[in-house]
Amino acid sequence: MGAILSDTSAHEDLNASEERRRALYKAFESGDTRFDGQVFVGVSSTGIYCRTVCKAKMPKYENCTFFRTAAEAEAAGFRPCMTCRPELAPGLSLVDARSNLARRAAHMLQARCSSSVSIESIAAKLGYTGRHLRRAFEAEYGVTPVQYLRTCRLLLAKSLLTDTDLPVSLVVKASGFGSVRRFNDAFKEHYRLTPSDVRKKRGKSAIHAGTIAVRVSYRPPYGFSELLAFFRGRALGHVERVDDVSYARAVRLEGADGNAVSGWVRVEDDPSHNQLIVTISDELTAVVPEIIARVRHMFDTDSDPVAVAEALAPLQGSVSGLHAEGIRVPGCFDPFEIACRAVIGQQVSVKAANNLAARIVERYGEKLETGISELDRAWPSAAVVCSLPSVEDAFGELGLIKTRSRAIAQIAALMCDGALDLDASAVAEDQMEALLQIRGIGPWSANYIAMRALGHPDAFLETDAGVAHALPDLTPKERLALVEDCRPWRSYAVLALWDSLSG
């Protein structure tokens, strides 16, 4: 895969080289999962575009045009395939996010497509002008941010029409269309279908009884059981529940209208289709895109497992029991929660850190009505922590030492002021620098937060106890040198080293 795509610049036409076209067609013909979500195929004889894993009848080579994104295929006049469903394709990882402004903006557009998001506001959040963002976006994706946003909304709506029994009015709201009429017009114009046509073509897998079920694809191999084991060992009572086959949590988010909504979400694996099944309580309809984005981040569905395995290959010869096949970095659902828990977990066992975190959520976590008794609280927000008269006294009563209470108070204050951004679309290096200015935050904490909250793929914890146990004969400096060739995937090296201890 690298040989086919890595020698092209982001904006270069994939169809410019006959050799590359032949290689991409061969990948399409074989259903190569490595290309899923990285290449889409427009078929001129049908007017439809597909994922590389599509199982429909194979089109002729001369009828195929290759695109980097679904938005680019739609801008060229193709409509999505009903068989392989491009709306379910895995996304792209945020490697080298500093230089890839467009990719960071795309993640934000996907997560916020249900709201009346403006390109100017996204550009401002990323620290650029709207004009610069538009120029960078078109160079990367071949479409404007507005066109990309429209595709995100249409594909989300198509997914909800196919997989749920939501009334059309709620699908319109969840996917960010301002009115049913605008929604219907968009479908007719871009897909030459009505929403009713889409719903008629769906299978028998729709979920009922007050829930929304959406599917999120990943590129295999995928270590779902290892992710569950990680989350199970750190599950926070009242907030999370992890069993042998699924992860569930209570959710409180702010909708596009500024009002908070609460409910629950559950994630389970469907390995036969290389997909996660994400079940969402219908109280969260207004924030479905943001939930999907957070689940993608938490379960690292956009990772490129082939690239990761290749990067970690040199490490396998140095560590007994280490394997990189299907490894994923566990992200998080709530960035502030994980930042606080990273501070709480400094130099204490996972069990001790969980106990301290449980006391905080029981005392200060907001009570939620989710309909599930075990999932009835949310981690206190940064605003709630900032409102406490004395975080040092409040958390001190629960057993947290002063330096860690102060560090959490500073993180909360910086996030409330906008000086610290732990969103996955932020530039990790910038936020790590801001974290390191906080007294009580050292390199281990900054890297751990970057790895789990910011989705930074290249963080390494050379002083971590687990890493030290996996590499007992090396000094921290020597551990850093050992994983130098694993860049830009050293976060995955950390997980591989941790996993080697339980093998």
54 is catalytic: no
DSSP-derived letter for residue 379 is: P
CB 498 within 8 A of CB 466: yes
Long-range contacts of 341-348 (CB under 8 A, 24+ apart): 341/234, 341/236, 342/445, 342/448, 342/449, 342/452, 343/404, 343/407, 343/408, 343/411, 343/440, 343/441, 343/445, 344/400, 344/404, 344/408, 346/404, 346/444, 346/445
Kind of pairing between the strands at 48-51 and 79-80: parallel
CB 83 within 8 A of CB 123: no
Q: From residue 172, how far is each of 81, 187, 195, 251 by CA, in Å?
A: 21, 11, 10, 22
Helix, strand, coil tally for the chain in percent (to 5): 50, 10, 40
What residues have CB less than 8 Å from 207, skipping those under 6 apart?
A: 163, 164, 165, 213, 279
Q: What is the DSSP string of 410-474?
A: HHHHHHHHTS---STTS-HHHHHHHHHTSTT--HHHHHHHHHHTS--TT---TT-HHHHHHSTTS
Catalytic residue among 269, 302, 464, 499: 464
236: tokens are: 């926070």
- For residue 282, give the amino acid letter: D
Prior bond to 221 cis, omega within 30?
yes
- C-alpha–C-alpha distance, residues 105 and 100, integer Å: 9
Catalytic residue among 50, 152, 340, 486: 50
464 is catalytic: yes
Rg (alpha carbons) of the chain, rounded to whole number: 23
* Residues 98, 92, 426, 240, CA torsion sign: negative
- C-alpha–C-alpha distance, residues 444 and 461, integer Å: 6
User: Hey, which residues are catalytic here?
Assistant: 50, 464
